[in-house]
Chain A
Amino acid sequence: MGQAFLIALSYYLMQVLDGFIGFQTLTRPIILGTVTGLLCGDLKTGVMMGTSLEAIYMGVSAIGGAIAADFRTSTVMAVGLTIMTGIGMEEGVALAVTVGALMNAVTPFVNAIQMATHPVYTRLAHEGNVKAFRRFQWFTLLVIRHTVNSLIIFFSVLLGADAVANLINTVPGFITRGLSASSGMLVVVGLCLTTQAIYNSSTVFWVLLGFVLFKYLNLPVLPIAIIGLIISYVLYNRNKKLNDIERKLAEGVPAQGGDDFYG
């Protein structure tokens, strides 16, 4: 019970802290392993294992082909279990692969819950209630984002990964598949909101251009942005000239040398 709690706690704590500071540093194996080591009572092992896991997940070196799992889960489980039960690092990482797979199985639900927060955010923003909006950000961070994964780690260590897998498998597959398909699609709602904000008569064609450049020519985003920049600069220049001419016409500046020409 105690060790399951400490392992899950170090995961939850560092995820929340990293989410708050946002610099994607505290959950790197080298830091996360150290903190797990500290909480579980063996700082030195934590640093050593965190360091070698950092190397593994950087792609610098590999162990036993077992690097498919989420590096955060692997780190807390490998470090925590090594310190408290004495299993080796390879076994810890291998166990984490199973737990990582369990997390993947519940990801569609966690995502669905997070997407279901959108109406709350839009309502608070629409009311202009920034304080409540901020409070709801805190609620999302502390309660919604990392709780399920932390609980999976906790129960996997406590009861064994098989018991947790059996529980997850009771959910009908089509719900998981459907929700997972929807998280691939829902970005479209956010993109459509932006489309609506910038919409004019030629928007659809420019969207098609960006789409074709990415899908057909397989260009990365940066060159597409450069091409887009060139196009919009050329358009801008032409419009500016038209604009200048219109202004001159409106001011009634006579065309220069016109008289000479006809003279």
Chain B
Amino acid sequence: MANMFSTLTADEKSMLKKCYYYSLNTFMCFNHVVMEGYSFGMSVWPAIDKFYQTDEEKREAFERESTEFFNTHQVMMGLITGIAAAMEKERAEKGTIDGGAISGIKASLMGPTAGIGDSFFFNCVRVIVAGICIGIGANGNILAPLLFLLLYGGSLLVTKYYLVLFGYVKGVDFVNEAFENGIIPLIMEACSTLGAIMIGALIASTVKVNIAAAPVINGASFALQDIFDGIMPGILSLLLWWLVFKQLQKGRTPTQLIFGIMICCVLLALIGIF
């Protein structure tokens, strides 16, 4: 392990420590628009600050990283923080990667890493550690919570730290090799393909449009949701995605869209749609 990270300079190590510190704050702020996005942007900031030269470049990179949707298991976020830091480095130094490739990598990795992280840490590590500690603590032994904190919390903290380093080192290696072979544009295209497929899965799994209205016509009640789902399950989520995307393309800001959707929802609830 130590060998793998021996290529890191002292400077990079201290930068990655800062990335790690900010990446710990995954749940400082969380909302349904970008989920962990703000915290993710903050966790890449030390790399942005270090590698970009001008304030304008830093501003552009930070805005791009911190206002996008991001959601995964908090430990696995460390890996993606490391990779994004490596890509920002290449982008800053060589300018070959465009911002979309970084977004694509984030979008493709967050789904699978969330699945792996949740099942490994929640359903495996925590169950084992809690099993041990429950046995010890039944009589009120203070060792039980301390052991839980050390074994479960501690293992999460340590794993996350090494994932940040691992993501960065492997990310830099990979991008360097790709750069030498001149295949960066091809990789960028592959990233955006994979990213788009994962966005489709995310729309299907996270965007929820549930219509409660069931108008009664001639004594028969028509549940609108069933009718739409009969056409295509989740068709409303997909239409909403397309509508909002078109509005963004037209230059509407996310802020206008968020408040627009909130106000529409309340008004539709007033007339009984939701």
Interface residue? A169 (CB, 8 A): no
Do A222 and B115 form a contact, CB below 8 Å, given A23-B156, A125-B41, A213-B201?
yes
- Mask of B236-252 contacts with A, CB within 8 angstroms, 1/0: 01101100110011000
Contact A125 B63 (CB under 8 A): yes
Contact A20 B190 (CB under 8 A): no
Contact A25 B149 (CB under 8 A): yes
Chain A contact residue count (CB 8 A cutoff): 107
Contact B249 A196 (CB under 8 A): yes
Q: Return chain A residues, CB-CB under 8 Å to B149.
A: 25-26, 31
Interface residue? A167 (CB, 8 A): no
Q: Return chain B residues, CB-CB under 8 Å to A191.
A: 69, 199, 202-203, 206-207, 241
Query: Counting chain B CB atoms within 10 Å of each CB, which of A23, A138, A226 scores highest?
Result: A23
In terms of DSSP, what is the predominant structure of the interface of chain B? helix
Segment 189-210 of A: residues with Cβ below 8 Å from B? 189-200, 202-204, 206-210
Contact A210 B148 (CB under 8 A): no
- Give the complex CA separation of A193 and B202 in angstroms: 13
Contact A47 B142 (CB under 8 A): yes
Interface residue? A250 (CB, 8 A): no
- Mask of A177-194 contacts with B, CB within 8 angstroms, 1/0: 111111111111111111
Sorting the interface of chain B by its residue count into under 10, 10 to 19, 20 to 34 or 35 or more gives 35 or more
Shortest C-beta distance, A112 to chain B (Å), equals: 6
Shortest C-beta distance, A47 to chain B (Å), equals: 5
Contact A210 B199 (CB under 8 A): yes
Contact B197 A114 (CB under 8 A): no
Q: Which of B3-11, B82-90, B262-270 contacts A (4 or more CB under 8 A)?
A: B262-270
Segment 183-220 of B: residues with Cβ below 8 Å from A? 183, 186-187, 189-210, 212
Shortest C-beta distance, A156 to chain B (Å), equals: 24
Which listed residue, B74, B237, B240, touches A22 by the CB 8 Å rule?
A: B74
Contact A184 B207 (CB under 8 A): yes
- Give the complex CA separation of A52 and B23 in angstroms: 32
Shortest C-beta distance, A260 to chain B (Å), equals: 31
Shortest C-beta distance, B233 to chain A (Å), equals: 5
- Give the complex CA separation of A50 and B140 in angstroms: 9
Contact B37 A192 (CB under 8 A): no
- Mask of A30-48 contacts with B, CB within 8 angstroms, 1/0: 1101100000000111011
- Mask of B28-63 contacts with A, CB within 8 angstroms, 1/0: 111111110111011001000100000110110011
- 11 A-B pairs besides A30-B133, A30-B134 with CB distance below 8 A are A25-B156, A28-B130, A58-B126, A178-B268, A183-B32, A187-B69, A207-B200, A210-B196, A225-B194, A231-B194, A239-B189
Across the A-B interface, give the 7 residue pairs with the lowest CB-CB distance, nearest first. Answer: A210-B200, A190-B69, A128-B59, A178-B266, A184-B208, A178-B269, A51-B137
7 example contacts (A-B, Cβ-Cβ < 8 A) are as follows A28-B152, A30-B145, A125-B66, A184-B210, A191-B69, A193-B67, A194-B106
